[in-house]
């Protein structure tokens, strides 16, 4: 499957194919005669693709014009950025295809998403004489994509980068849309840039080496996508929840069979929004459902919870409709995601007001009154504090 994303900065393909990581060089350089070079006619998915929820316009996937020429020009050098937690089999699969490409490996985890690691990547690029025509390849999860993307956005005022996400979170959400960032002084993603990738290569085979907890945490973003833009996607999770209740052993098999479709539909929701609001002036803020509180929980707990787990709690905090909260809670429990916490309300409120979307004593948040449709509301600091009662259980 190929999805074309059209933005003002650049158009780029999202290539979803099992085994794609072992064909990355063919995709990137578009070797003549290969089936994996990006073709002029985009292919659509067949399993669980469905329609994007009402309220968003969607330009579809046809028309990417990269016929047999690949993503980057021949002669351009690739610089691979990855982290210590990526299994060797995926690093080696990529290195075999780019034998002359240097590889930068930083310590796994959100704690590495800082100015020091960012500076190290820039110094590494400079010492290896990376030029403006070269490309950074990010191999890993959301932290790797953020770090590599931000380095690419700022090195020599911007060079191209290709994202190869290896986690459910990054494949479902963070690998597209152009948000790149690092953390600073305990504040998440406070320094960054909008820098669209030249391509995203998604190989769902890489999820086979992902721990179950991380897989589930990434699926929180797919649940969010269903809530804001695709009711049918949310219903897939509800069907899984019902099936798991009747046949507990069937849940894993059902998820495995529907995972490609879940990823595709999630990406289509985000694509439809990003194409209309690339730099988050308005509509794109809908993608932050659960993130206003989620990022605050993430900063507060400093590693105790994964990003997707914090988003799950954030969605339970922000959504006011009791029926939707009940349905959401059942789905999150089925995925073994937390729905409550013991965070200090005052400190969480302080962290929320440090969010990039806060203006004075107010902040714009995403809200859902009907599954598959979302809207924006402006909340006061007082209301933010009051809503924290919903997860203090």
Do residues 319 and 328 touch, judged by C-beta distance below 8 A?
Answer: yes
> pTM (2 decimals)?
0.86
Tell me, what's the pLDDT at 82?
98
Residues for the chain: how many in total?
393
Band (215; pLDDT cuts 50, 70, 90): very high
Tell me, what's the pLDDT at 355?
77
The average pLDDT across 143-160 equals 97
CA-wise closest residue to 267 among 56, 91, 110, 65: 56
Name the least confident of 47-56, 142-151, 248-257, 292-301. Answer: 47-56
Structure tokens at 16: 């979803």
Tell me, what's the pLDDT at 363?
87
Catalytic residue list = 157, 179, 221, 270, 280, 284, 288, 291, 295, 307
Band (63; pLDDT cuts 50, 70, 90): very low
For residue 246, with 0-12 CB atoms within 10 Å meaning exposed, 13-18 middle and 19 or more buried, which class applies? exposed
User: 4-13, pLDDT tens digit by residue?
Assistant: 999 999 999 9
The average pLDDT across 300-325 equals 95
Tell me, what's the pLDDT at 31?
61
Percent of the chain with pLDDT over 90: 69
Tell me, what's the pLDDT at 35?
36
User: 74-96, pLDDT tens digit by residue?
Assistant: 788 999 999 999 999 999 999 99
User: 15-39, pLDDT tens digit by residue?
Assistant: 999 999 999 999 998 864 333 334 3
Tell me, what's the pLDDT at 43?
34
Tell me, what's the pLDDT at 391?
60
As a 3-state breakdown, the chain gives helix, strand, coil percent values, each rounded to 5, of 45, 20, 35
- 42-47 — which CB contacts under 8 Å span 24+ positions? 42/2, 42/3, 42/4, 42/13, 43/1, 43/2, 44/1, 45/1, 45/16, 45/260, 45/261, 45/264, 47/258, 47/260, 47/261, 47/264
Whether the pLDDT of residue 252 is over 70: the answer is no
Rounded mean pLDDT of the chain?
87
CA-wise closest residue to 195 among 142, 164, 159, 171: 159
Tell me, what's the pLDDT at 54?
38
CA-wise closest residue to 185 among 107, 108, 114: 114
Tell me, what's the pLDDT at 34?
37
Cβ-proximal residues to 357 (8 Å cutoff; 6+ apart), any chain: 285, 288, 292, 363, 364, 365
Tell me, what's the pLDDT at 213?
94
Going from the C-alpha of 185 to that of each of 142, 166, 189, 274, 294, the distances in angstroms are: 19, 28, 10, 29, 17
Do residues 15 and 201 touch, judged by C-beta distance below 8 A?
Answer: yes
Q: Dihedral angle at the C-alpha atoms of 284, 150, 205, 231, nearest 10 degrees? A: -10
Structure tokens at 175: 């690998």
Tell me, what's the pLDDT at 8?
94
User: 318-363, pLDDT tens digit by residue?
Assistant: 999 999 999 999 999 999 999 999 899 889 988 888 777 778 788 8
Element holding 207 (H helix, E strand): none
Element holding 293 (H helix, E strand): helix 291-301
Q: How many CB atoms lie within 10 A of CB 154?
A: 17
Domains of the chain: 2-208 (3.40.50.1970), 229-391 (1.20.1090.10)
Q: How many CB atoms lie within 10 A of CB 98?
A: 18
């Amino acid at each position: 499957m190929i999805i074309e994303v059209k933005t003002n900065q650049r158009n780029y393909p999202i290539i979803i194919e099992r085994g794609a990581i072992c064909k990355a060089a063919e995709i990137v350089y578009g070797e003549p005669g290969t089936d994996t070079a990006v073709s002029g006619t985009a292919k659509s998915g067949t399993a669980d693709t469905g329609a994007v929820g009402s309220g968003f316009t969607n330009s579809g996937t046809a028309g990417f014009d990269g016929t047999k020429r690949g993503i980057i020009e021949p002669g351009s050098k690739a610089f691979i950025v990855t982290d210590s937690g990526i299994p060797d089999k995926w690093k080696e699969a990529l290195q075999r295809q780019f034998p002359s490409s240097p590889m930068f490996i930083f310590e796994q985890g959100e704690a590495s998403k800082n100015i020091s690691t960012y500076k190290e990547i820039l110094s590494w690029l400079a010492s290896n004489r990376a030029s403006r025509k070269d490309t950074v390849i990010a191999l890993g999860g959301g932290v790797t994509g953020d770090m590599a993307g931000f380095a690419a956005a700022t090195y020599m005022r911007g060079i191209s980068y290709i994202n190869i996400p290896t986690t459910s979170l990054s494949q479902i959400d963070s690998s597209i849309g152009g948000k790149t960032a690092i953390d600073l002084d305990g504040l998440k993603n406070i320094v960054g840039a909008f820098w669209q990738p030249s391509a995203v290569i998604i190989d769902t085979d890489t999820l086979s080496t992902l721990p179950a907890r991380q897989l589930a945490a990434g699926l929180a973003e797919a649940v969010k996508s269903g809530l804001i833009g695709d009711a049918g996607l949310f219903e897939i999770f509800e069907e899984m929840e019902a099936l798991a209740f009747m046949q507990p052993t069937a849940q894993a098999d059902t998820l495995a069979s529907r995972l490609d479709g879940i990823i595709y539909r999630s990406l289509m929701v985000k694509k439809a929004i990003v194409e209309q609001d690339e730099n988050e002036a308005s509509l794109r803020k809908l993608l932050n459902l659960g993130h206003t509180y989620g990022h605050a929980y993430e900063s507060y707990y400093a590693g105790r919870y994964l990003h997707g787990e914090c988003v799950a709690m954030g969605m339970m905090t922000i959504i006011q409709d009791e029926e939707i909260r009940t349905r959401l809670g059942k789905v999150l429990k089925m995925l073994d995601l937390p729905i409550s916490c013991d965070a200090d309300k005052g400190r969480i409120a302080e962290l929320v007001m440090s969010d990039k979307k806060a203006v004075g004593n107010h902040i714009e948040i995403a809200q859902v009154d009907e599954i598959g449709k979302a809207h924006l509301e402006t909340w006061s600091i007082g209301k933010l504090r009051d809503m924290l009662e919903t997860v203090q259980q």
